[in-house]
């Protein structure tokens, strides 16, 4: 999609570096829109144009990327009063990189199709640093021809792009991926707390497990870089966002008639973290709650 005009809505923790990679790598204009002026100023310094409103961005872009906090914002931006549905000309494409319910993705796709516009859900996985480095994993739901056409743009932001199936499939895979990740983080935190009680240095424990069958993305990223360093910043993926994704997963489980007990246990810990005032902290902060229980 050489030279296409790109629009980007939502320049937060993940959206800003994703948009920056498009600005730097795409050979056409990139226009950004957000309610927060700070990231827009940084992106403007890189060469992005700044839209004063959603209607202005819709008019200025052939393809519009979304990176929003939840399904509620996705619905408002796409289908709400003054949203894209009222301003997007026929022939345009919207790609939602947020994490939102699969049913919402299908609803939006149907609404845009009725206006002659295309839609794909393309939620992202991995860390903010991966967004900065352009090494995200993107799971895409949409028609095969559309997805293949989007790959060159997605490759500007990701090292792995997987076509998961029709619209909604990308969201389902991403949501279930996060459900698995959160359970891995809990298991890792429990193992670390027990190892400490055995007098084993946390660094030694993680190094040994990383060379064994317990190795995982969670261990190398959340264990070594967050839990071990006790680094749980507020400018990363917080507990509240993680709980939102986990709720989506539990909804999918309920629809499938599956009792996802492991996921439900993690949700209980997320609730405790929020009630303890840790809701805005990076989600591996749940390790501090587990360790605290072990000490009690």
The number of beta carbons lying within 10 Å of the beta carbon of residue 137 is 18
pLDDT digits (tens, 9 = 90+) for 229-254: 999 999 889 999 999 999 999 999 99
**DSSP letters of 281-292?**
SBGGGHHHHHHH
Q: Of the residues 174, 225, 244, 293, which is catalytic?
A: 174
pLDDT of residue 235: 83
Going by C-alpha positions, the residue among 122, 243, 237 that lies closest to residue 174 is 122
- In order of their start, the domains of the chain are 6-165 (3.40.50.720), 172-295 (1.10.1040.10)
Backbone angles phi, psi at 6, to 5 degrees: -105, 135
Is 174 tagged catalytic?
yes
Distance CA 250, CA 256 (A): 10
Helices (H), the chain: 15-25, 37-46, 54-60, 71-79, 102-114, 128-133, 144-154, 169-197, 202-210, 217, 239-256, 261-275, 286-295
pLDDT of residue 207: 97
List Cβ neighbours of 210 (8 Å cut-off, separation of 6 or more): 219, 220, 224
- The parts of the chain modelled with pLDDT lower than 50 are none
Per-residue b or e along 189-214, where b marks 16 or more CB atoms closer than 10 Å to that residue's CB? bebbbebeeeeeeeeebbeebeeeee
Q: Average pLDDT of the chain?
A: 96
pLDDT of residue 3: 84
């Amino acid at each position: 999609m050489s030279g296409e005009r790109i629009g980007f809505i939502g320049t937060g923790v993940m959206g800003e570096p994703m948009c920056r990679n498009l600005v730097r790598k795409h050979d056409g204009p990139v226009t950004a829109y957000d309610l927060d002026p700070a990231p827009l100023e940084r992106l403007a310094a890189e060469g992005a144009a700044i839209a004063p409103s959603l209607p202005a961005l819709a008019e200025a872009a052939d393809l519009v990327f979304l990176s929003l906090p939840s399904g509620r914002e996705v619905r408002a931006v796409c289908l709400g009063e003054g949203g894209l549905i009222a301003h997007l000309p026929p022939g345009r494409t919207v790609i939602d990189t947020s994490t939102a319910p699969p049913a919402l993705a299908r609803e939006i796709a149907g609404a845009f199709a009725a206006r002659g516009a295309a839609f794909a859900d393309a939620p992202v996985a991995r860390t903010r640093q991966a967004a900065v480095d352009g090494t995200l994993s993107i799971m895409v739901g949409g028609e095969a021809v559309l997805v293949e056409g989007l790959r060159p743009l997605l490759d500007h932001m990701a090292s792995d792009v997987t076509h998961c199936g029709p619209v909604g499939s990308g969201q389902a895979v991403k949501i279930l991926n996060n459900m698995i990740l959160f359970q891995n983080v809990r298991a890792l935190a429990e193992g670390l707390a027990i190892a400490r009680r055995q007098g084993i240095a946390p660094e030694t424990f993680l190094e040994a497990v990383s060379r064994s069958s317990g190795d995982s993305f969670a261990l190398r990223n959340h264990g070594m870089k967050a839990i071990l360093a006790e680094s749980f910043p507020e400018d990363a993926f917080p507990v509240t966002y993680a709980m939102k994704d986990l709720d989506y997963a539990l909804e999918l489980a309920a629809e499938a008639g599956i009792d996802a007990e492991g996921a439900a246990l993690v949700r209980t810990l997320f609730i405790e973290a929020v009630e303890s005032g840790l809701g805005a902290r990076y989600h591996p902060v749940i390790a501090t709650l587990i360790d605290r229980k072990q000490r009690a």
